Amino acid sequence: MAFYFLRIIDDRSDFVPDPYLMRTTWIAYVLLIGSSLPAQAFTDGVFGIGAGYFSENAMSKIAQKETGQTGFMGEPSLPIALRYDYGVGMTGWFLAPQLMYSLLPRKTAGSHATVTLTHLVFALGQNFSSMGGSGSGWDWSVGPGLLMRDIKGKGGTTEMSNGTGTATFAVPGRSTSVKLITTNLGVSWTYVSSRVAADLVIERLLASKERTQSFFFSYLYQFGGRGF
C-alpha cells in the first residue's frame, strides 16, 4: 500500500509531498508490517544473552557535565545482559532474574573517574496474551533490583575555575562502591529467538528529592525453553 501511494506521488510531477505526511505513511506501514508478523510469547526455561543501552540518571535529573548541564537521556553505558525466565503456577506468569554488567566502564564528567555498573533484578511478569489478548508476543514485568556502582578515581590534579580564575585541585585516586535498591518496570516484545525490551529503573522510589530514573533498552538472543 505504501509503495503504491508513493508511486502515485511520483507520477504527478506537479505534486509536492508533505514531509510530515510522508513520514507518517512510512511509520504506519512499518507498524502494519510489524503487527502482521507472528509472535512467540513467554516460554518457560528460556535463557537470554545480549547487550543493551543503559541511560543513567535520565529525565534531566542530575548534572552530567562540568558546566552543570543536564540531559533527558542521561549518561550512557553499554552493558551486557543475562536473563532466565521461570514460569510460575499462574498461567502466563513468570519470574525473570536478570543481570546487567558494563564490561567497559564509562567515564565521569571531566574524565576524572570511571564507573562500572552491575544491576541484578528479580522481576515478576505476565504475558499480555494471558490478560485477554491473542497470540501476543508482549509481556510486562515489575520487581526489585540491586544496583552497584564501582567508582574508581583517576588521581592526580586538574585545573578548575575558582570564581575569579583557575586553580589546581587534587583528584581522588581511590575506589569506592555504592549499592542502592531499585524498582524496575519493564515491557518487552519477543519474536522467535529475539527479545527487545525497555525498562524504567527507579532509585530511591520513596525519596522525592533524591529519586532518580534511568532507562535500559536491551536486545537478548533466547534459547532453550520447556514450553509454558
Residue 29 domain boundaries: 1-36
Residues 188 and 85 in one domain: yes
Higher pLDDT, 174 or 18: 174
The answer to whether residues 111 and 126 belong to one domain is yes
Residue 18 and residue 46 share a domain = no
- Per-residue pLDDT of 206-220, as tens digits, reads 887 888 889 999 999
Residue 85 and residue 21 share a domain? no
Distance between CA atoms of 73 and 182, rounded to whole angstroms? 18
Residues 28 and 84 in one domain: no
Query: Domain check: are 155 and 182 in the same one?
Result: yes
Is there a single domain that holds both residue 151 and residue 45? yes
Residue 128 pLDDT greater than 60, yes or no = yes
CATH code for position 206: 2.40.160.20
Tell which wins on pLDDT, 146 or 76.
Answer: 146
Based on the fold, state whether residues 18 and 54 are members of the same structural domain. Answer: no
Interacting residues of 83 by C-beta distance below 8 A, sequence separation 6+:
47, 48, 49, 96, 97, 98, 99, 220
Does residue 6 sit in the same domain as residue 50? no
Same domain for 127 and 85: yes
pLDDT of residue 11 exceeding 50, the answer is no
- Does residue 139 share a domain with residue 176? yes
**105 and 15 share one domain:** no
Domain count of the fold of the chain: 2
Continuous segment of H or E residues that includes residue 184? strand 175-191
Whole-angstrom CA distances from 146 to 74, 106, 142, 152, 226 are 19, 19, 14, 19, 29
Is residue 163 scored above 80 in pLDDT? no
Name residues whose C-beta falls within 8 Å of residue 124's C-beta, 6 or more positions apart in sequence.
Answer: 93, 94, 95, 96, 141, 142, 143
State the average pLDDT over residues 130-143. 71
Q: Report the pLDDT value the prediction gives residue 112, as an integer from 0 to 100.
A: 76
Please tell me the predicted confidence (pLDDT) of residue 62: 56
